[in-house]
Structure 1
Amino acid sequence: MASEFLRNLIKDQNTSLHLEARSKQDVIKEIAYKISQIKKNLKEDEIFEGLQEREAKASTGVDLGVAIPHTSLNKISETELYFFLSPHGIEFSSIDSELSYLFFVILSPKTPKKPHISSLKIMADICRTMRVDNVRFKMKAAKDLNEILQILESP
């Protein structure tokens, strides 16, 4: 079963969801750049530094081709979710040592207001949803964000 919860959280992206980078660090840079183009109040370097700092603690590559890079930032007031796709896969130090193709990026406020959507709840929902092979395979083949959102709406 797909997730309407995730579908409703993923932000509109006026940039391609496809990642061209071929290394973990370059993917993080590309993600930071793309989000900074969407969120004009965030600078590319602050997004990159936050994601990189979190990644240095432990990899956010989970398993089944999924990675969940995340960080907390001062300049946002509510949790935001972005989705990116690597058509060729990236070595992201995942638990199962497989390449990561599906990137769910979570930006959380450093000082959240109440009520607050927990990053842990989002991560749990991502992991639960990505356990469904058909959903994961369809998402890997998606051409744009509208297709991703439709897949997440499907029962």
Structure 2
Amino acid sequence: MKVLLSINPEHVENIFSGLKTYEFRRKVFARKDVKTVVVYCTMPIGKIVGEFDIDCIIEDKPSDLWKETEGGSGITKKFFDSYFEGREVAYALKIGEVRAYDTHVNPSDVLDNFTPPQSYMYMDRERFKGTNSRQLELVW
């Protein structure tokens, strides 16, 4: 199973360059069969640009999570603390194999009624338009 995550351009660049090896989240997927993240790069890009496999998901108190992941965080401690402010639990997706798409995909071309998810979106077959099979192969 794949999920689509909205990620800011700066973080997308750091993920695909290998600088950022953890993607932080306030909540994670209810489904346990999620293995791959499809990366939607937020505006001004506004495209699906690639994907990465999830090596594992780490769940911990924010302070302990930072100690474990800071070397691959790709963000400052200040940003991390602000993102998890008031939270007792924090999550980090350990990024496995990364695959940038040669051709970026306009999500509205392949997904019905696309709006960028605030948290995540399961990539279920029912969501796909099925009109552009070449682009569909990339994200499915």
TM-score, length-normalised on structure 1? Answer: 0.25
Work out which of the two has the higher radius of gyration on C-alpha atoms and give 1 or 2.
Answer: 2
Q: Which has the higher contact order (CA 8 A, sep 6+)?
A: 2
The structure richer in helix per residue is 1
- Relative to the length of structure 2, the TM-score reads 0.27
